[in-house]
Amino acid sequence: MDRPLARTAAALRAIRPADGLLAAGTAVAVLAGTARLGGRLDAAGALPLALWLGLLLLARRRRPLAVLLLSVQAVVVLRTSGLTDIGWVWPASVAYAALAADDRPGRPGLPWAAGVGLAELAFAAAWEVPTAGTGPRDALASFGAEALWLALLLAAATAYRNRLRWRAELDARLLREARERDLEAGRRIAEARLEIARELHDVVGHTLTVVGLQLRVATESLEDSPAEARAALDTAQEVRTAAVRDLRALVHVLRAPGESPAPVDPAAGIPELAALVDRMRAPGLVIALETAGDPAALPAPVSLAVHRVVQEALTNTVRHSGASRAEVTVRSAGGRVEVTVSDDGRATAAPAAADTPGHGIRGMAERVHALGGELTAGARGDRGGWLVRAVLPVPGFRA
């Protein structure tokens, strides 16, 4: 006994307040409609029909077709038994509308509601005309009104169902757009992190290398050539100042993520390669620079990428190769820029910079690939040494 009572209590708790109000309103509406149309109001006919039609609506969300069939059955039984004398379709209006508006997958509610309604009207015509003895005019008026009411119910339910579909599609599209925005934001954040990582590596790695190089020059020439030592210290100070400026720009990007994640230093480009080569020269290392074409006509992102490739390649040469000579060549012609940096050092040591993701050769490759170019790095073969070569396309540029 406890289990059925528990199931009953759970079912009562699952009833929504709106369904309860709709059930009560339907019962009152059936009684009021019967009285308004001049029908009989008695305890054996209209009252049980009204209560039954109202109670059935409590299950309309889970079993709308069953609710409609039981509602129509109740109307037909009470009408044919003579217990009620008013209405065929309209007492079950809410059941018809609930089934027609059902939009769940695999539940064709509208065709079922239309079919049940037409069947009920056909039965009513076959039953009532011979038994009531009404004329064709009265029968046409009565069943025409019932058919019109059924059509209005189905049209209103269809409009409501279409509105639900539109809202569902709108919500799905908004959710999809929100997810796409989140994915795009994540992609941009990832790209910004990679760009900042490359900038940090290039700035910090190059600065430490050049400062260390100049400090070594200053230490070695401090007693014999104070002027040379002072010049080396001045160069180290200039490089440090430039690095601080670049780092401040990166910090500004981190604090203001809505702005461009790729800080472009106006002092970093092909025209500044001569100054870069001068800073990288050291006792025992000769660096030759050759440029061809009009570097000033190149877009800033391409010019910056060329500068960073040369900077990183020379930094690796100084730090890893032990080379005595390095050659830098930049040629811009035919809609592309070709950069080569080669040295005569130890080819086996240079790739060490590529071990950490986002650094060294990998960082150079990411810069070049982002602009649609190609980068190769490896030993020069029988001649010894290391070679870095990058080719970047420049659409519309002809030097």
Annotated domain spans of the chain = 2-133, 266-399
In this predicted model, what pLDDT tens digit does every residue of 241-272 receive, in sequence order? Answer: 777 777 776 666 666 655 544 444 445 788 88
Helices (H), the chain: 2-14, 17-36, 46-56, 64-80, 93-100, 109-132, 136-221, 226-255, 273-280, 300-316, 360-370
pLDDT for position 391: 92
Where does residue 171 rank: exposed (0-12), middle (13-18), buried (19+ CB within 10 A)?
A: exposed
Handedness of CA 153, 156, 161, 164 (dihedral sign): negative
At residue 178, what is the residue type?
A
Q: Is residue 149 over pLDDT 50?
A: yes
Of 317, 313, 315, residue with least CA distance to 339:
313
pLDDT over 90, % of the chain: 4
Q: Mean pLDDT across the chain, nearest whole number?
A: 78
- With 0-12 / 13-18 / 19 or more C-beta atoms within 10 angstroms meaning exposed / middle / buried, residue 184 is exposed
Res. 310: pLDDT tops 60: yes
266-399: CATH architecture: 2-Layer Sandwich (3.30)
Residue 292 has pLDDT above 60, yes or no: yes
Share of the chain above pLDDT 70, in %: 78
CA–CA gap between residue 215 and residue 185 (Å, rounded): 44
Work out the average pLDDT over 311-329. 83
> What would the two tokens of residue 395 be?
């659409």
Residue 258 has what pLDDT?
A: 53
Segment 371-396 shows an average pLDDT of: 83
How much is the average pLDDT of 183-190? 80
What does the CA dihedral 236, 237, 239, 244 come to, rounded to 10 degrees? 140
- pLDDT tens digit sequence for 21-56: 888 888 888 888 888 887 778 788 888 888 888 888
Q: Is the pLDDT of residue 74 over 70?
A: yes
Task: Give the span between the Cα atoms of 242 and 249, in whole angstroms.
Answer: 11
pLDDT at 136: 60
- Is this structure's pTM higher than 0.85? no
Q: Check residue 262 and give its pLDDT.
A: 47
In this model, does residue 232 exceed pLDDT 80? no
